[in-house]
Structure 1
Amino acid sequence: MEYLTFKLIHVLSSTLLFGTGIGSAFYLLCVVLRRDVHVIAVVARLVVVADWLFTATTAVLQPLTGLYLVHLMQMPLSTPWVGWSLGLYVVAIACWLPVVRLQLLMRDAAAAADQSGTPLRAPFWRWFAWWVALGAVAFVAFLAIFYLMVFKPA
């Protein structure tokens, strides 16, 4: 029962982590491409909140529950799919950490532009380009982790 309980927590938290990430990325991407500064400011603020409430908490929960499941299964960390999953998770989180900073910068720049009635300035667009690139890498890493978790290749 302990294994199934932690597996359920692991699966639910991965769903929340991935779903919140892809959902907030989709909405922020869509509104930024529309270039409506007011809407960008509102959505960027909500994306930052969602990231702290859902992504940050599940990003911590995922490796804890995953490593505990590996322990319960008495599986060595040197098992190839486990090692690759951990490595890809490190890549995804290494992308996510600067994304958090970029989202804060974009949120603040959009709020300032909205308050002053001016268009978004060049730094916003640089931060946005990095945000998209890092998000794409993290997305691919998470897809690969899902593959490894489901198929457990040798």
Structure 2
Amino acid sequence: MDYVFVKWIHILSSTFLFGTGIGSAWYMLFATLSRDVRAVAVVSRHVVLADWVFTATTVIVQPATGFYMIHLAGYPLHSAWIMWSIALYVLAGACWLPVVWIQMRMRDLAAEAARTQCALPPRYWHYFRIWVALGVPAFIAFVAIFWLMVAKPA
């Protein structure tokens, strides 16, 4: 495959990955803070679906296209910007994996609260705090990865 085509796929998939992540986080955060149980139930259901449809697929496409571009361009794998990008990607992934499970629990708790017309239970709020705590370093990691991809510092 041609380098420009692979780069286009890489940029497109990173847009889906980052865009889905930031958009999902935005709506999940503000639906939760509204304390509107029905809204939280709907939003959390769609956030979990978006994670499986967009995030899970692009998590695979990103390293595949990234490593292929490194190969095509002849960059040494041990370049500092590449090593930092990989480390930050692993960090973001280590944050994302538990977030997937947490979001599914939050979705289920919100659906049950909506069904029974009750407030979100304390366990939901416990998961929410962990969700935020894991989301912040993942967001920072992705912003740094974008900078590394563009600047390719020595």
TM value normalised by structure 2: 0.98
**What does the per-residue CA deviation read over 1:92-119, in whole Å, with 9 as the maximum and x for residues that have no partner?**
0110000000000000000001101111
- What does residue 64 of structure 2 align with? 64
Matches within 5 A, 1:34-45: 34-45=34-45
Using the alignment, how far apart are the partners of 2:74 and 2:147 within structure 1? 21
Alignment pair present for 1:134 and 2:139: no
- The C-alpha deviation readout for 1:4-31, integer Å capped at 9, x for no partner, is 0000000000001000000010001011
**1:50 CA displacement:** 0.5
Within 5 Å, give how 1:117-128 maps onto structure 2: 117-128=117-128
Cα distance per residue 1:48-85 (max 9 Å; x no partner): 00010001100110001000000111212100000000
Match runs of 1:1-154 below 5 Å:
2-154=2-154
Q: How many residues align?
A: 154
Counterpart of 1:81 in structure 2: which amino acid? W
CA distance in structure 2 between the aligned counterparts of 1:56 and 1:76, rounded to whole angstroms: 28
CA distance in 2, matches of 1:75, 1:34: 48
Alignment partners' CA distance in 1, 2:119 and 2:95: 28
The SS at the match of 2:99 is: helix
Q: Secondary structure at the match of 2:120?
A: coil
User: How many angstroms does 1:143 deviate by?
Assistant: 0.4
Two-structure CA RMSD over aligned residues (Å)? 0.8
4+ runs deviating over 2 angstroms: none
Percent same amino acid among aligned pairs?
58
Give the TM-score, by structure 1 length.
0.98
Amino acid at match of 2:37: V
What residue identity is the alignment partner of 2:89?
A: Y
Quick one: distance in 1 between partners of 2:120 and 2:40? 10
**Structure 1: runs of 5+ lacking an equivalent:** none
